[in-house]
Amino acid sequence: VNVISFTTDYGLADGFVAACHGVAVTIAPDVRLIDVTHQVPRGDIRRGALVLAQAVPYLPPGAVHVAVVDPGVGTSRRGVAVAAPGGVLVGPDNGLLMPAAAALGGASSAVVLTESAYFRRPVSATFHGRDVFAPVAAHACRGVPLAEFGPTVAPAELVALPPPVLRRGPRWVEAEVVAVDTFGNVQLAATSEVLAAAEIAEGARVDVGGHVAVRAPTFGSVAAGELVLYVDSAGFAALAVNGGSAAQRLGAAVGDVARLTVRP
Amino acid sequence: VNVISFTTDYGLADGFVAACHGVAVTIAPDVRLIDVTHQVPRGDIRRGALVLAQAVPYLPPGAVHVAVVDPGVGTSRRGVAVAAPGGVLVGPDNGLLMPAAAALGGASSAVVLTESAYFRRPVSATFHGRDVFAPVAAHACRGVPLAEFGPTVAPAELVALPPPVLRRGPRWVEAEVVAVDTFGNVQLAATSEVLAAAEIAEGARVDVGGHVAVRAPTFGSVAAGELVLYVDSAGFAALAVNGGSAAQRLGAAVGDVARLTVRP
Amino acid sequence: VNVISFTTDYGLADGFVAACHGVAVTIAPDVRLIDVTHQVPRGDIRRGALVLAQAVPYLPPGAVHVAVVDPGVGTSRRGVAVAAPGGVLVGPDNGLLMPAAAALGGASSAVVLTESAYFRRPVSATFHGRDVFAPVAAHACRGVPLAEFGPTVAPAELVALPPPVLRRGPRWVEAEVVAVDTFGNVQLAATSEVLAAAEIAEGARVDVGGHVAVRAPTFGSVAAGELVLYVDSAGFAALAVNGGSAAQRLGAAVGDVARLTVRP
């Protein structure tokens, strides 16, 4: 394979990303690098996991995805590589990688990264993106089998994040806010299938915390300034204001639980 | 051709850009991707059009430029591809592409993007950058003729933005502020030719809303803290403060009209 | 060589970076571009120099590094190319390049960029990144010897930055704050060797302006919210708060001098 993606909370101001890129291409000179984002809020593993999981379906099949949101770097938390039908994930064993593994078809095998011959040495205590994960990903791109990097671990034994809140009944859904994007659009944990099962159909008027949203195909389907419930480009129910910010309108933040109730 | 550029208002925090990159390189694995910017203010078509138009002259000839500032996504606004002597532009038909087409030698032909065989399917209602424009650009890079993407439309029938305000007389110019860059430099709609026609020469002292600027080659030509009128790297009249922000000094914002008057 | 890196204060909003990238790949179509950062604070030569110097050891050997933090652009300041065992640096002669040259093994030779045949013409007064430094770097990648770009200058005659404050005695160190990263970690001018010479060992409790830090391998080595003194991934003494911001805790900013004193 010939693509490595990067998802981190390093920001773009400090040269940390360039160090990872440089280490990777020194090992694998022909690899293509794709940055998913480096603006995960510091240490926000759930956010990093979500962005990564929603990006990997669109990256080239078989790519190696490095993700580093790693508040436990330098402690006993493990580094792992996880294989899935659609690609390979490399990063800390803190739950960050697992939603992306699911999005790539489900983790089929995993190894703990212990074989320091594949690391950049000396390994710093604080920058495993540069010293462990980027070099392992580059070696994987060059064809080193995952089993070379360390002992096998069952995917079920890797750290997983608790699933987001999601409940439904006839004509209502309660779903955790899992993301607020740069436009202020509010993504919920409910898929379009959940909306269908709850009988929230196109054209329905839905109460959300005292506000009324109309279910429609897109924010452009409603008048400027109006609230819309739609299925977003990742396949999840989302709330938007046409030309505005639904997060601001609703006072919604990640981790909140939104209750959608169809109005009679 | 082998280069695709991207200009959007997606920001860098959400993985939207990576999805576009991934879709493009899955179709055209050898293409080079160049990001113009992803920090166009949300929905600001004029700003996106300006940044793109001022960047394309420096990108490789024949490149395909994807631009997405697209408040009408999912409505009836058309997607288009526009050919010019210097390259191809792909994006919404909302005026965003036309200044860049002019900068590339003028739109010579255009098509409406209707041929869904070249889209990523299913096409979401809200993310045509990923599902329509990036894949069409990648196919164009691989040699698919524009006529394959849909029916021809006359370039004159595409949506165009109103031109910025620009008036001049003897020893004065009135020009719209078209951009404020990251340094606080204020770019006006007047080219160096307009300054020459208005007889605003090197060394002239010019009144700008009660402030005095000296026309000089660059901000380094005046003392620290002084206001300078110069021709910027895109060929337009601009105001700067050496070591400071002209936008702040003048209280100038995009869309304002600045009047430059030579002092006796 | 086949890699060009870029370090600037251009920001990512204006298309300036894309213009540099475009000019470079038009000249050298097969070169790999790596962005170190474009978020150096405007005109902050020291900061740019530091980020560049700490990134270059991890970029591919022999790469050409373009750096542009250039408040004197358009004045008489010289443009230079500097050769070192580990790579080539191209940018203004204002001190920006010299720490990186040292990090690459020490400047072995240098030239003043005067040969305009290698520039993009006309050369603007304000954008030498696009018109001078990027094209010279691309030609250097294609094998043009540095001596072709202009007359030789002794590295010792190039502008250098004053070194940061660094003093030490038995069980104390005074060191300038040279960087605050995106996590609020405070990097000092003292290397691990300086800490050793001052007998500040692992486990030591150290007074820093009335706060107490424990020297440990990493921020994860101390309890959440505690202050730690560690050796960072660049090999320098640094202060961090586990899960917080040391810069905020200490009220520390770049240019401050921190005094570390071992507690009895």
Omega before residue A85 within 30° of 0, cis:
no
Instruction: Please report which confidence band the pLDDT of residue C45 belongs to, taking 50, 70 and 90 as the band edges.
Output: very high
Looking at the predicted structure, is the pLDDT value of residue C71 above 90? no
What is the reported pLDDT for C1? 62
* pLDDT tens column, A56-67: 999 999 999 999
* Chain C residues lying within 8 Å of B226, measured CB to CB: none
Other CB atoms within a 10 A radius of the CB of residue B157 amount to 10
C-alpha span between A63 and A71 (Å, rounded): 25
Looking at the predicted structure, is the pLDDT value of residue C74 above 80? no
* pLDDT tens column, B18-71: 999 999 999 999 999 999 999 999 899 999 999 999 999 999 999 999 999 998
Instruction: Please report which confidence band the pLDDT of residue C130 belongs to, taking 50, 70 and 90 as the band edges.
Output: very high
Question: Which residue in C13, C25, C43 is closest to B32 by CB distance?
Answer: C25
Judge: B218–C126 Cβ closer than 8 Å, yes or no: yes
Report which of C47, C53, C57 is spatially closest to residue C179, judged by C-alpha positions.
Answer: C47
Question: Which residue in A60, A182, A221 is closest to B13 by CB distance?
Answer: A182
Tell me, yes or no, if A12 comes closer than 8 A to chain B by beta carbon.
Answer: yes
Question: Which residue in A36, A183, A218 is closest to B74 by CB distance?
Answer: A218
Please say whether the beta carbons of A3 and B26 come within 8 A: no
Tell me, yes or no, if B2 comes closer than 8 A to chain A by beta carbon.
Answer: no
C-alpha span between B133 and B251 (Å, rounded): 38
Other CB atoms within a 10 A radius of the CB of residue B262 amount to 17
Beta strands in chain C (DSSP E): 3-8, 32-37, 64-68, 79-84, 87-92, 109-112, 152-153, 166-169, 172-180, 186-191, 205-208, 211-215, 227-231, 236-241, 257-262
Looking at the predicted structure, is the pLDDT value of residue A216 above 80? yes
B98-104: average pLDDT: 97
Note the pTM of the prediction, 2 decimals: 0.93
B80-108: average pLDDT: 98
Residues 107-166 of B with CB under 8 A from C: none
* pLDDT tens column, C170-220: 999 999 999 998 889 999 999 999 999 999 999 999 999 999 999 999 888
C-alpha span between C47 and A200 (Å, rounded): 54
* Chain B residues lying within 8 Å of C31, measured CB to CB: none
* Chain A residues lying within 8 Å of C52, measured CB to CB: 15
Judge: B18–A59 Cβ closer than 8 Å, yes or no: yes
CA distance C117 to chain A (A): 31
Name the average pLDDT for chain A: 95
Other CB atoms within a 10 A radius of the CB of residue A106 amount to 12
Question: Which residue in B55, B221, B243 is closest to C18 by CB distance?
Answer: B55
What is the reported pLDDT for A218? 87
Please tell me whether the interface predicted TM-score (ipTM) of this complex is above 0.90. yes
Judge: A14–C37 Cβ closer than 8 Å, yes or no: yes
CA distance C144 to chain A (A): 22
CA distance A250 to chain B (A): 20
* pLDDT tens column, B173-205: 999 999 998 889 999 999 999 999 999 999 999
Main-chain phi, psi angles of C90, to 5 degrees: -130, 130
Q: How far is CA C161 from CA A14, A233, C1, C106, C175, in A?
A: 20, 50, 29, 15, 16
Main-chain phi, psi angles of C41, to 5 degrees: -55, 140
Judge: B59–C130 Cβ closer than 8 Å, yes or no: no
A96-123: average pLDDT: 97
Looking at the predicted structure, is the pLDDT value of residue C20 above 70? yes
Report which of C160, C10, C159, C75 is spatially closest to residue B224, judged by C-alpha positions.
Answer: C75
* pLDDT tens column, C224-256: 999 999 999 999 999 999 989 999 999 999 999
* pLDDT tens column, B214-227: 999 988 889 999 99
Looking at the predicted structure, is the pLDDT value of residue A182 above 90? no
A97-107: average pLDDT: 98
